[in-house]
Amino acid sequence: MGIGEARNKDQKSKMDTLNKVAEVIEASSAEFTAQCYKLDQSPVLGSLVKTQDDLGAIYGVVYNVETHSLEPGRRVVARGEEMKAQEEVFKANPQLSRLLSTDFKVMVVGHMQGEKLYHYLPPKPVPIHGFVYTCQTEEIRAFTQSLDFLSLLVNAGLPVPVDEVVAACLRYASQAHSDSQAFLVKAGKELAGIMSSDAGRLNSLLKRLK
Amino acid sequence: MESQDSEERTSLGVVVSGSLTRGVEVKLDAAVSVEDMVVGRYVAIEGKRHRFFGMITDVSLETVDPRAVVTPPDISDPFIAQVITGTTTYGKLRVLPMLTIGSDAAGILEGSQPAKTVPTHFSEVKSASQHDVELVFGAEDERRFYVGTPLDMETKVCLNVPELVKRSNGVFGKSGTGKTFLTRLLLIGMLQKGAAVSLVFDMHSEYGWEGKTEKGYKVKGLKQLFPSKVAIFTLDEESSRRRRVSTDFVVRIGYDEIEPEDIELLRQTLNLSEASAQAVYQLAREFGDRRWLESVLNLNEDESKQLISRLNIHDSTYRNLRRGLENLRRFSFLVSRASDNSVRRILEYLDRGINVILEFGRFDDFAAYILVANLLSRRIYAKYRENAEREMGGEVASAHPLVITIEEAHRFLNPEASARTIFGRIAREMRKYNVTLLVIDQRPSGIDDEVMSQLGTKITCLLDDERDIDSVLTGTAGKSELKSVLSKLETKQQALIFGHAVPMPVVIKTREYGTADSYKELGFLEAAELKKKTEKDIEDLWSS
């Protein structure tokens, strides 16, 4: 399936709220933060998400997920000492799901302009309050046809272990490909090129791809 | 044709660095295993303006990160192994560019030229196709003789025989590597293409009628394949008779034909001292060039004493000389006066374009071989020289070029002897007088450097002594690269050919010889076919 086709399909399902998971609450050129509509319902680490600006879709990889109290001054306290199951905590305190929030951080890895897909940063940051969608299988496949975005990811100075994110992203993307093993080998070779001077790092990363 | 051609060529990698003298380095593609690459194989490099032909001279393993050598990646995991092959660890080839072919029409017309530059960075390297090899070596025709195939290919590598015989050539290789088979093929090539007549000094009687493989199978000699074009001469008719070989002539040599120089050449073989060898000249002056040997051998004790006191020769010197000369008596082919002139007979045959193979029978020791080969060649050469000079004067037509084949060549052509033997002169003077050599030897380091450098085409089977390899490759471009190719040849049926008769060095798997099919390919006719052909010839003769 071509990229353009994927995009058409995307536009058709634009209103499909099934994929809509979050909203941008912080944006910069290289990354953005999105808040999930539902507590603990964030996309998985390393997954490909997208949002929209006036030029087209902007793609990113989820690199960090955190759940915290909405009020900065109010810390979350433990409540389940007397309870048998975890779920009972929320049943007994229904207000909690309104007081807590799950955010995730996304590294921007590419964007579309018109029909064309670019594996580098868009000219403008993602719009604030932009809706964030998880990507469909076809879209993931179309985006990961080229692995040029890997160098962006590998060389990003993230507050979390970068290699974990890279490995998670590739494992996740490989499921979208019919021959996932061949995809991983191709990606591994791309990584070998990027990390040619650090065989140790490459090896430990490759081990995480399985 | 074009599409078929491109299918044959598989991409191997890209040129990454190198120089013309050392050869270019090629990074292998991940899909190509280093284990499939062998030295001596041909590759084609697609440069921007030229196509280059080169030979793989080295294969190496490389890693991008030197630390990988210390802490190797876990390649028991097929995934990791697959990823790192061709990326962080890769194979590298060293390729010596040897020829270029211009890609434009003019270049194709001109044919291949020696490479004077290298392809640009990251030019694609492909395995050479059958068509490429044919383009370089030419197809089999009336001048080119098929000697073998390149490694892992079916194409024929052909030698330009008229070019080959213009200069002296050498066949080298350790014992048991197939020198004799190769030589047999070369002799057949010369015979088939009619480029030259051969005179073979056949020390072990294996070229004429029948030879043996190492496994003990019999293979046909030249006479069996081409009865009308080959004559077998023998020094030992009894041996020939026992082997049921019909000979054309029995060679006898008179004592009067042996000159002091011949004895000097045999100094080491006959265990003569320096002084004894010098005394020979004194004796020759005393008795005359033609009679000295017989006279000395017939001297009794008293006469000897008188002689040495008169000539002032030391007693021990004389004894040493006598002992040495007595050795010659066991050669039954030496007679006091030969009734028929062997040299004239040989020349008669050669003039008629018939190849002469001289079998030594039981006299397969160096003394007999050196003595006879040198003596006969000297006089044959003199005749050729005379003829060539007359030809220059316009008196006679030019004779068939003559190729003299000698085995154990280092005995004749070592630095000490080469100045004295006729072979040293033939090798140096090259083709001026239409006589060239085909030297066969297992110890090329023993041959005089000057002679080695004059050899036009060298065909060498496996050699493993460092000095031998050096000596064979003296003066060859890309010597160190060819060295690695040469020392890695297989022990059987493989040879490296380089020099005048081939456009570039080539490793061949020698053409099959010894099976019924191979004889047929070489033009051998079975008895029934032969009869038919003869009948047809006669018919043609009468009808015309």
With a cut of 70, say whether residue B7 has pLDDT above it.
no
B464 and B404 together in one domain: yes
Domain boundary at B305, B330, B355, which?
B330
**Average pLDDT, stretch B233-258?**
84
Is residue B495 situated within a structural domain?
yes
Is residue B151 situated within a structural domain?
no
DSSP character at residue B39: T
B115 and B21 together in one domain: yes
Give the pLDDT band (50/70/90) at residue A201.
Answer: confident
Is residue B534 situated within a structural domain?
no
Count how many Cα atoms sit within 13 Å of the Cα of residue B523 in the half-sphere of its side chain.
Answer: 14
Average pLDDT in chain B = 82
**Average pLDDT, stretch A176-185?**
90
Residue pLDDT, tens place only, B474-493: 877 778 778 888 888 888 88
Q: How far apart are CA B227 and CA B223, in angstroms?
A: 5
Q: What is the identity of the amino acid at A194?
A: I
B311 and B397 together in one domain: no
Number of CB pairs, chain A paired with chain B, less than 8 A apart: 55
Is residue B248 situated within a structural domain?
no
Q: Which residue has the higher pLDDT, A94 or B393?
A: A94
Q: Say if the Cβ atoms of A210 and B79 lie within 8 Å.
A: yes
Angle between helices A180-194 and A162-174 (to 10 degrees): 150
CB proximity B75 to A under 8 Å? no
Domain CATH code at residue B227: 3.40.50.300
Domain boundary at B276, B298, B330, which?
B330
Q: How far is CA A124 from CA A25, A130, A153, in A?
A: 16, 13, 19
* 3-class secondary-structure state, position A79: coil
Q: How far apart are CA B139 and CA B157, in angstroms?
A: 8
CB proximity B79 to A under 8 Å? yes
Is residue B380 situated within a structural domain?
yes
Give the pLDDT band (50/70/90) at residue A174.
Answer: very high
- Owning domain of residue B280: 255-330
For residue B192, which of B155, B225, B233, B149 has the smallest C-alpha distance? Answer: B225
Residue pLDDT, tens place only, B501-544: 888 888 888 888 877 777 777 777 666 666 777 777 777 777 75
Q: Which residue has the higher pLDDT, B174 or B109?
A: B174
pTM check: above 0.90: no
B267 and B178 together in one domain: no
Residue pLDDT, tens place only, A135-151: 999 999 999 998 988 98
- Where residue B493 falls (left for φ over 0; alpha for ψ -120 to 50; beta otherwise) is left
Q: What is the identity of the amino acid at A43?
A: P
B28 and B58 together in one domain: yes
B442 and B421 together in one domain: yes
- Where residue B422 falls (left for φ over 0; alpha for ψ -120 to 50; beta otherwise) is alpha
User: Any idea which of B164-173, B287-296, B383-392, B441-450 has the lowest mean pLDDT?
Assistant: B287-296
Contacts of B78 in chain A (CB under 8 A): none
B374 and B511 together in one domain: yes
Is residue B271 situated within a structural domain?
yes
Residue pLDDT, tens place only, A99-148: 899 999 999 999 999 889 999 999 999 999 999 999 999 999 999 998 98
Give the pLDDT band (50/70/90) at residue A6.
Answer: low
Q: What tokens were used for A71?
A: 């009020």
Q: How far apart are CA A181 and CA B395, in angstroms?
A: 83
Is residue B147 situated within a structural domain?
no
Residue A47 confidence (pLDDT): 93
Contacts of A199 in chain B (CB under 8 A): 63-65, 67-68, 71, 73, 88
B59 and B116 together in one domain: yes
Is residue B533 situated within a structural domain?
no
Which of A177-191, B139-153, B412-426, B428-442 is most confident? A177-191
B322 and B218 together in one domain: no
Q: Looking at this predicted complex, what is its ipTM?
A: 0.74
B194 and B307 together in one domain: no
With a cut of 70, say whether residue B6 has pLDDT above it.
no
Pairing label, strands B23-28, B11-19: antiparallel
**CB neighbour list of residue B278: distance below 8 Å, 6 or more residues apart:** none
Q: How far apart are CA A60 and CA B77, in angstroms?
A: 31
Q: Say if the Cβ atoms of A206 and B86 lie within 8 Å.
A: no
Strand ranges for B7-156 from DSSP E: 11-19, 23-28, 42-46, 50-63, 89-102, 113-114, 124-127, 144-150
Q: How far apart are CA B285 and CA A128, in angstroms?
A: 120
B301 and B406 together in one domain: no
Q: Per the structure, how many domains does chain B have?
A: 3
Q: How far apart are CA B20 and CA B442, in angstroms?
A: 32
Q: Say if the Cβ atoms of B88 and A206 lie within 8 Å.
A: no
B132 and B167 together in one domain: no
